[in-house]
Amino acid sequence: MIQEINNNLIKASDLINNKKFDEAENVLKEYIQQVQPLIKKSKDEISLCFNNVAEFYLYTQLHKPVKNVALVSYKIDVAYQWLAYIANENKEYKKALAYVEKGLSYNPMNTDLIFEECETYKLQKDWPKLYATTKKVYPLIITARDVAKYYRALGYYYIEQGIFEVAYALYMFSLEYEESNNAKSELNFIRQTINNLSFKMTLPDAINIFLKNNINIGAPKKNIDLLKQLLHEENLVQNNLDVKYDIEEDIFALTKDDTYLHSFWINIEEGKGDITEDITLKIVNNQKLLEDFPNKNEQRRIEYVLEDKNNTYKGYTIIDSKDLVVEEVMAKNSPYIIKVYGVFLSPKSENSFIEFKIASKD
């Protein structure tokens, strides 16, 4: 039942992507009307919905709620987020702000809601409120994506203030956390505006500018420490490997600390592979690692040897840099399927990582 109801959000998302805002708004309002009566209310509990375990954990650690937190399986915060987006598109700014406030009452950790509020003030050209709201989101940041969005929002503010050096530093530094055509366009805009198309800035220069202007560098250390702490919470994480790997991936993206490259990701270097009880996968050759990630046309040929107790199977696959999930490979005459996934943990990283999974054809 929950999944069936939440499917309405998928429908609304499709309508929004096709710019059918009136239809999407109706679907979202119907969703909220359908879900609200299903959310239990109690004097002893507060009903909240979170997008993942990390949000829930950080909420409990940062806010120290007095009441018990009852987790809601419905994404009512997302519904209000999209209603706020539609309201902004329709220039109904008071509506947008009301939707943001309502959404945050269901998920105080939903940074996308606050970024949508930033968009409202941006559209209204209310620069002091844009700045204040952007700063408000910082204590909630737990992903590289949100660090990048935070810098881009601040960058826009500084462009409007005509402080182009700081804006350039912010947009440039955002690319260390997430690739963004928007950030690259703004960097080109700044170069054109200052009439210096060859202008460049180093990362140390950007960091010095951050320090001089009281701009935070990276995600809050407290939040990173809490994510690391979360990895040791047996009930929340240690019994769920997928959750554990997601958190480790987030920590790596924020810190570039190789300690948090979990065993599921293997460096595609010659001779390394995934070892199970009876099966060994060896990578015998691979093309040079991509140095220019944005070049979507490059491919790599990965050759492998799959060995079990009785047989040796050889094969290869092509890894296309633009795809995360690449393809499913079936070794010739092999009783196994080799599933290959390409994951690029950082666009700026010189390393790429491939996950190999081995499964029986039967």
Could you tell me how many residues make up the chain?
Answer: 362
Whether 186 has a pLDDT exceeding 90, the answer reads yes
Phi/psi for 18 (5° steps) reads -95, 15
Q: Which two tokens mark 300? A: 């790599």
Note the pLDDT tens digit of each residue in 136-157.
999 999 999 999 999 999 999 9
C-alpha–C-alpha distance, residues 120 and 101, integer Å? 13
Which of 166, 199, 222 delimits the end of a domain? 222
Closest CA relative to residue 2, chosen from 30, 31, 27, 24: 31
Residue appearing with tokens 């007095």: 66
- Number of structural domains in the chain: 2
Strands 45-48, 68-71: pairing is parallel
CATH number of the domain encompassing residue 134: 1.25.40.10
Answer yes or no: do 168 and 22 share one domain: yes
Average pLDDT of 289-300? 39
Answer yes or no: do 14 and 101 share one domain: yes
Average pLDDT of 75-85? 94
pTM higher than 0.85: no
Other C-beta atoms closer than 10 Å to the C-beta of 172 total 23
Rg (CA), the chain: 23
Mean per-residue pLDDT over the chain, rounded: 78
Whether 353 has a pLDDT exceeding 50, the answer reads no
Which of 203, 222, 241 delimits the end of a domain? 222
C-alpha–C-alpha distance, residues 171 and 173, integer Å? 6
Answer yes or no: do 203 and 288 share one domain: no
> Who wins on pLDDT, 270 or 30?
30
